[in-house]
Chain A
Amino acid sequence: MVEQASHNQSTPAPPERKKLIEVNNLVKHFPVRAGLLQRVKAWVKAVDDVSFFINEGETFGLVGESGCGKTTVGRTILRLIPHTSGEVLFDGRNVFDIEGGDLKKLRRDMQIIFQDPYSSLDPRLPIGESISEGLRVHTNKGGQERYEIVAEMLTRVGMRAEHARRYPHEFSGGQRQRIGIARALALQPKFIVCDEPVSALDVSIQAQVLNILRQLQRDFGLTYLFIAHNLSVVEHFSERVGVMYLGKMVEMAPRDLLYADPLHPYTQALMSAIPVPDPTVKRQRILLEGDVPSPLNPPSGCRFHTRCPLAFDLCHQEEPPFKDYGGGHFAACHWLEVGQHGDSKLTPANIIEKKGRKVAQQVIH
């Protein structure tokens, strides 16, 4: 307790909430095997030194393009795939140190909702069976008791108890995703990884699934890691947001801070690319050149420097520190270190000032 108090003094933040998840320097490299002997030829650096925390009862949004490692982060935390190094503290205990029966107990507290509701349910099991499978494995509840829990979970996600006997193909995508939520919920976990829970759904029903997730969070005090590529969905759903690029966390902040004042050029580019359903709005867009480099061989220094319209010498050589720039707004950009607040901004004026008109013309649309 004493330690806690002294820590509070150094960071005058809002009343400290309990951290449920603390990810410290998480690394996950996948081996690339080739040849007759299947020797490891290279490593895909899917997640490279990522740190963040999630407060209890909070939704942490994790955003990035496909291949940036956000799903790998979620799955490594849950120990669905082994980690390479680093630690994940769940309720103060390192998840990677827990084995055997303790691990089984831990799994009850951490669940996942998958992206694709069409392939994440067993087509040959009635959905009631899918939902109660966890109860069968982790508890010694009898059939009747399990059925009651299934019925309750189904009603909580806006479906009816008698649906339990039906098969997945009898349901629409939105209903299937709600079944996936009921399944994740059956064991009353504390923490749920939502891996792109709405991106496979029609936009007309996305809000329904999100509302259910929000209601359940209130009812059960759940903590979410909400993985998505859609920045506007994340804005409506998360309290704190992290942005990943090529296996690194490049920015992390409370939602309002991030959306009002994105510091990292990559976050700004992502936001500027979001379409607005209003043709009367004329905006200037910053479009990045090129594609995301391969995580097999990530660029030196700042990984974003190959596409950054503001990159300078230092960006090629040295990795920028991931630092708090006030109010829990973390970012990793050299301009924040060497320059003023506005130096990392992707505004036309700033790009012209730093890189000249030619570069500006290429990226401003």
Chain B
Amino acid sequence: MDQPNETVLRARNLRLYFQTRRGPVQAVDGVDFDLRKNEATVIIGESGCGKSSLAKAILRLLPRNAGTYDGEVWLHDQNIMLLNDESFRKEIRWRRISMVPQAAMNALNPVMRIGDQVSEPAIVHMNMTKEDATKSAVRMLEHVGVPIDFLHRYAFELSGGMRQRSALAMALVTLPDVVILDEPTSALDVLTQASIMNLMKRMKKELETSFILITHDIATSSELADNVAVMYAGQIVEVGDARRFFTKPLHPYSHALMASVPRLRETIEPEFITGQPPSLLNPPTGCRFKDRCPKRFDKCDEAPPMFIEEGDRQVRCWLYDDAIQMSRPEYQVVA
């Protein structure tokens, strides 16, 4: 059982820049990450750090002003970046990687019945007949806890939680290898949020699907996460096993993020990060977090590489350079 699951999705040096009149916006800048079978990788970051763009880059849902778009995305042993748009649409999108977009509950088609809407991906992408598609839609809706008599209702007749469940069913109806969830619970009330998180945990257990969960909500994400990737200003600054991340984050940014979460029945007051994230038009040279970092030192003007720490954790911070740790004990990372 200790054998790690096989890797389903691997991104290497993935880049997505947007062309604007003021220059390229480096929304996703050289992102590497792995997703293993039946696991969930959470991508955490503040608004504007490029996490939703990363989802778009993986699924190749590019807006018209997309500029540079390169790197590798391996789905099992196929580099899907090499496919042309048409075969990507036919073979990959929704068939093998699907997505629940941000605020999906409000993005459902208002003039389509829930049943038709959930079965549509199966018809379009899997070439199923309408009957078969409806059957699998019914099965999936049951799975996510939407009552069958909702099949003939419209989105506006459903509560927020039920709409979110329907959007999830839509993404799962084709039984893809990977589902990308973009902020799946952020517009919901606490109670609904908790039941959607429970549902996703159950889905992960019951289906052979891997999840990429994109969120700014650290507390909620900890419930589903097997792995955590922290994104800052278009780059991933820390990746690693969730359990270790939540008990002891490595990067100063991760530290500060965790310290800013208010916790129930806790005497420690939440802290905040001074300043604001840099513009992705002209990201700072060197470490991108240096201007807000409490542990900044001269080396930070050079761009840090990913350092490997114990337990396969990776962190993009000079504090974890062995040479620096030896020569400058004052910068020892305090756990």
Contact = CB atoms under 8 A, between A and B. Distances in A.
Interface residues of B, number: 42
A271 B216 contact: no
B223 A206 contact: no
Contacts of A215: none
Contact of A202 (B47, B189, B225, B243): B47
Interface stretch (A44-52, A186-194, A278-286, A351-359): A278-286
B190 A231 contact: yes
A176 to B, nearest CB: 12
A67 B219 CA distance: 24
A162 B249 CA distance: 38
B190 A172 contact: no
B178 to A, nearest CB: 22
Contact of B264 (A205, A206, A274, A292): A274
A259 B265 contact: yes
Nearest to A236: B262
Of the listed residues B219, B220, B274, the one surrounded by the most CB atoms of chain A closer than 10 A to its CB is: B219
Given A207-B260, A207-B271, A275 B219 contact: yes
Contacts of A277: 218-219, 222, 246, 258, 261, 263
Contacts of A216: none
A285 B276 CA distance: 36
B270 A172 contact: no
A210 B217 CA distance: 18
Contacts of B80: none
Given A278-B247, A280-B243, A203 B191 contact: no
B161 interface: yes
Given A204-B272, A208-B272, A277-B246, A291 B263 contact: no
A236 B270 contact: yes
A204 B222 contact: no
B242 interface: yes
Interface in B231-260: 242-243, 246-247, 256-258, 260
Contacts of B257: 203-204
Interface in B61-83: none
Contact of A291 (B161, B243, B264, B271): B161
A272 B161 CA distance: 18
Contacts of A174: 276
B222 A276 contact: yes
A239 interface: no
A250 B270 CA distance: 28
B262 A235 contact: yes
A207 B162 CA distance: 32
B273 interface: yes
Contacts of A271: 264
Nearest to A64: B189
Given A203-B261, A232-B262, A279 B246 contact: yes
A229 B190 CA distance: 8
A269 interface: yes
A66 B189 contact: yes
A204 B273 contact: yes
A173 to B, nearest CB: 8
Interface stretch (B102-110, B194-202, B204-212): B194-202
Nearest to B274: A208
A287 interface: yes
A274 B261 CA distance: 12
A278 B189 contact: no
A365 interface: yes
A276 B276 contact: no
Contacts of B197: 275
Of the listed residues B191, B225, B263, the one surrounded by the most CB atoms of chain A closer than 10 A to its CB is: B191
Contacts of B216: 202-203
A273 to B, nearest CB: 4
A260 B264 CA distance: 11
Of the listed residues B159, B198, B258, B272, the one surrounded by the most CB atoms of chain A closer than 10 A to its CB is: B272
B193 interface: yes
Of the listed residues A233, A259, A274, the one surrounded by the most CB atoms of chain B closer than 10 A to its CB is: A274
Interface in A239-298: 259-260, 269-280, 285, 287-288, 291-292
Given A206-B270, A236-B269, A275-B222, A269 B191 contact: yes
A288 B223 CA distance: 18
Contacts of B222: 275-279
Contacts of B32: none
Contacts of B262: 206-207, 230, 232-233, 235-236
Contact of A205 (B217, B220, B225, B272): B272
A172 B264 contact: no
Nearest to A260: B265
B46 interface: yes
A280 B245 CA distance: 11
Contact of B256 (A204, A236, A292): A204
B264 A270 contact: no
Contacts of B195: 287
Contacts of A208: 272, 274
Contacts of A259: 264-265
A276 B264 contact: yes
Q: Which 8 A-B pairs have the closest CB atoms?
A: A273-B194, A208-B272, A207-B272, A275-B219, A65-B189, A277-B219, A232-B262, A207-B270
Given A203-B218, A204-B272, A273-B193, 19 more contacts: A173-B47, A174-B276, A204-B256, A204-B257, A205-B260, A206-B270, A208-B272, A231-B264, A259-B264, A273-B194, A274-B190, A274-B219, A275-B193, A275-B220, A275-B223, A278-B222, A279-B223, A285-B198, A287-B195
5 contacts: A202-B216, A207-B270, A207-B271, A269-B191, A291-B159
